[in-house]
Structure 1
Amino acid sequence: MTEHFRLSYNARRILATLRVQGPRSRAEIARLLDITPSTVTRLTGSLIKDGLLGEAPDPWREGQKGYPAKLLNIEPGGVITAGVYVDPDRIMTCLSDLKGTVLSNESLAVPDRSFVAMMTVAGDSVARQVQALGLAGRRVAGCGVSYPGQYSEDPTRVMRIRQFKDWPAVNVARDLSPYFGMPVHHMNDAKAACLAELYHGACTGVRNFCHIWLSYGIGGAAVVDQRPYFGRNNGAAEWGGLFPKSQPRPSGQDLLDTLAAAGLPMEKLSDIEDRHLELPVVAEWRERAAKQLQWLCLVIARTYAPEAIVIGGTLHPQIIEGFLDVIRAAPQLGEDFVTTPPRLVRAARDNLPQLGAAALPIHHLMNPATYAGQAVKGL
């Protein structure tokens, strides 16, 4: 489908620059990236031919003498990607363009929590949307798949959460790809959600930020200089490991366990409704969890010193917004923290977690950090 898209390192740098800074002329790109104008002209010509870039006259030079400069911009429909998000409550799928516009999406009930059943439903959903939009065989760069779980020593696998305890030891190439009929990329739910904020959400122009994802567990990711930093075995920024599972922690599963211990058993996070939020047991949990998250933000601020910390997830929206209110209202992030704290930002895309998964093929296709070849100045 996109076999001909084997983008060079500098082609990826050009696309990354336009994504962050918006339309730019060829001369500006050459200056920003310190590559020759002839190289920029050659590479952008190929990107235009492949449909990844478009160009339009510079409105600031309208009416001026001489040949007016043209501005290059990313062509949203140049590549389409599919996204699949799976958690114990639901299966969510979509097709998206390069600008993060969702062209179609489906939210599906979980038939049962077996791996085969859930991936079959997800694969059928993606195929149905590709067919409905007439995209079969055209520019579908691949499918991103995300689901919760902490990474193991094998970066193609994540450890199974309690609700998926009967899943096999999933290998992406062997076990996921057959369900989708296209190249498949996998990332756990928290890191995929961070990509959605980086490419299409609250932090498209933020150079350095950290993401906290609150779902059944606690996950996250770090972005350094507009590039995700995954660390060894994709294990960077797995904040949940700072809160041992044997202790009270600010996770959705801990909230469910707390409710069950109080005689209010609930199977899913989506079962928590507005009326439950003011129950004394929930109010006490929220107060304790907010303090734990404030401490986590202090740890992030001390270690990463990011410009922003983004908080989102599949917990009830009022719970997440309440955490933000508490942390923002604190007179200081922590004892002896006397510098300006990072901005606390509400995630903009956690209502569409499948969009984070759909950003995975874009990340692998266009980001300089994923370039596997040798970086050569003229390529």
Structure 2
Amino acid sequence: MRHLFTALIAFGASLTIGGIALTLLFGALRVSDGIPSGVMAVGFVIVFAGVIMRTVLDNRAERRERASSGPARLMLAKVLNARVTSSSANPFCELDLIVDAPDRGLYRTQVREQINLARLPGLQPGAIVVVSQPDPTRPVVTVVDPAPVDWQQRIDQDTRLRAVHDATPWTVEPPAKNPSAQVAKAVGIALAVGALVWYDWQPLSLLVQGNSTEEIRDEMTNSWNARRSVFAPADLEAALQGISAQAGTTHFSDVTVHQTSVSANAVAQPGADRVTSYTWANGEIANEIDMPAMHTDEDVSTFDVTTLDWSLIQQLVDQVPELTGVTQPDPYFILTPAMNSTGVEVTMYVSAESIDATVVTDGTGLVLAMTGGAPGSPAAQWSGAEQ
């Protein structure tokens, strides 16, 4: 279980570092995306939770080890030096000790304890004290004060420690690296790197390819918009169904479709001077605004969005290069009731690469009119033929 939390900590730490790196990269590219900050936050929370859980496990293991090793053993020690390291009624003191361990002999160690000022006279250099050693395999000891009655006699009779003025320090070798722990760390780091690469390999790849910051920024913006696009039939249907559910009607006077959002205006009743505009983005209603109506005629036309061919918008997007000559378009659409039928009329506006174009179709995708476009494109030829 401890290795699991080790892997979790390595994963969270790698996410945090990766989030910082992505934040710096996106800042340099002047790209607006809040996900790197979210990555940092998630990574920090994972590290925090992993450290707490691993600490709890370690404390439990230490308590079990102490319980299995029996009570701490008592020994005599000689004070070589005592230094007060804080000023209070119960200051912290650093004590240099020579400990007489039954199974090890004399060794030197240092302890830091909070000691009452009244005890200091009994801890002067040369004093013999009783110490407690919780773990026989470690040099850590604690001064026992007052000393047990039977040990006070041993203090008085001691001659061995009083004659010693120094001893070899007991140094603890660092624990050997646990292969399983190293594997757990490697797994956590690999998972984090994989997640970061999966999330945003694109800017790193573009940098390696030598693209300029402007090119990287434009490419990433287009990519993010494509991820949130509502042009696909299923996404457009979900957006208009969500708006219809909020509005309580499927009849609207006009619908505007951008790549990442859909807006629709609903008229409460013929002749009303107010309309309600609904906007759908990121899978939910993002805005609902009551505003004055542009027309208050009794015969304001509406159309039923459930009659739309959901694939129409995506088909028109795919035809933009062919119809207008624009290879990297950012189109938007306005859907309105058809003038001379019960269907819908779709007006597509394209503006990119310093080229503007407009394409008007009916509800089946049949082109009714085109203007603008790149020289030589069908849209430009249509415009020339009408002039």
What TM-score, normalized to structure 2?
0.19
Structure 1 or 2: larger strand share? Answer: 2
What TM-score, normalized to structure 1?
0.19
